[in-house]
């Protein structure tokens, strides 16, 4: 019999105060996992955790800045349970031509979405090794695979995430630890809503045209990706059936990259 169901785990999710992170947190809590909701905003993390608990799930909330060693250490020392699963989801976006892109903002995007991933992964790995189990799921992007204009920092960080994941897969192959990257196209989140306005301004086109021509037209299926899809793939990667899937990129792109 195929083993898809996963033992209840403690799952730490970064950037879970809204959007994809919050959606994955809610879905995994419904599956019986204990969710550690972290976000730069403690209020946002607390609200998500409270909604999970109100729905009968198990959750705790912590403020986390993935660009800070001290913040990562403080959160891990404050947890009620050790981390079995890490979902690296924290992210941000800035849309601009490189000539007009503030370098401090460029650096921040890479610090959060690449260096920050390495920082917290590095912090949880010793405990995973000690307990003999670990799953790391990175939330990449279609922009881990392809490029779009005006997103140089985001695309660079997300491309780097794939290389990092492959190296970590090799470094953890001596233990029951896996690391994989899920690469969705556009998910309807507050981050994407802001991108629509930014893209319209940068490209000089209406917002409706950004959605139809820039975001959905490259996808043969032509629909936004849902939180449920990403949560389901994450749950699969946590399950016994996926114990030998590591270092891989899982494209959730509606056919974008097969053309």
Q: For residue 160, what are its two tokens?
A: 């780097």
Distance CA 17, CA 39 (A): 5
Strand, helix or coil for residue 135: strand
Q: Are 58 and 29 in contact (CB under 8 A)?
A: yes
Cα 211 to Cα 18, 41, 150, 194: the distances in Å are 21, 29, 16, 12
Please state, as a whole number, how many other Cβ atoms lie within 10 Å of the Cβ of residue 55: 11
Catalytic residue (choose from 106, 133, 154, 186): 154
How far is 185 from 79, CA to CA, in rounded Å?
32
Question: Which pair of tokens denotes residue 126?
Answer: 């010793």
Token pair of 148 as six digits: 């779009």
Q: Which two tokens stand for residue 97?
A: 């031509």
Q: Is 154 a catalytic residue?
A: yes
- Using CA atoms, how far residue 83 sits from 52, 55, 62, 78, 199, in Å, is 18, 22, 14, 11, 38
Active site residues: 154
């Amino acid at each position: 019999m195929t083993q898809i169901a996963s033992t209840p785990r403690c799952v730490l999710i970064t950037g879970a105060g809204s959007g994809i992170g919050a959606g994955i947190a809610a879905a995994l809590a419904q599956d019986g996992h204990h969710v550690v909701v972290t976000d730069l905003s403690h209020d946002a993390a607390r609200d998500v955790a409270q909604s999970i608990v109100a729905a009968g799930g198990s959750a705790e909330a912590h403020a986390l800045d993935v660009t800070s060693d001290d913040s990562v250490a403080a959160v891990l020392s404050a947890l009620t349970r050790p981390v079995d699963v890490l979902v690296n989801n924290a992210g941000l976006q800035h849309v601009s031509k490189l000539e007009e892109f503030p370098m401090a903002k460029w650096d921040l995007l890479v610090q959060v979405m690449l260096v920050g991933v390495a920082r917290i992964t590095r912090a949880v790995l010793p405990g995973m090794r000690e307990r003999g189990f670990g799953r790391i799921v990175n939330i990449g992007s279609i922009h881990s695979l392809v490029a779009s204009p005006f997103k140089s920092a985001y695309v660079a960080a997300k491309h780097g995430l794939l290389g990092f994941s492959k190296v970590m897969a090799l470094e953890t192959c001596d233990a029951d630890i896996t690391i994989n990257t899920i690469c969705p196209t556009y998910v309807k989140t507050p981050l994407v809503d802001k991108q629509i306005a930014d893209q319209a301004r940068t490209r000089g086109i209406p917002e409706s045209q950004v959605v139809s021509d820039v975001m959905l037209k490259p996808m043969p299926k032509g629909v936004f990706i849902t939180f449920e899809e990403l949560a389901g793939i994450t749950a699969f990667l946590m399950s016994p059936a996926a114990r030998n899937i590591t270092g891989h990129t899982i494209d959730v792109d509606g056919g974008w990259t097969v053309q």
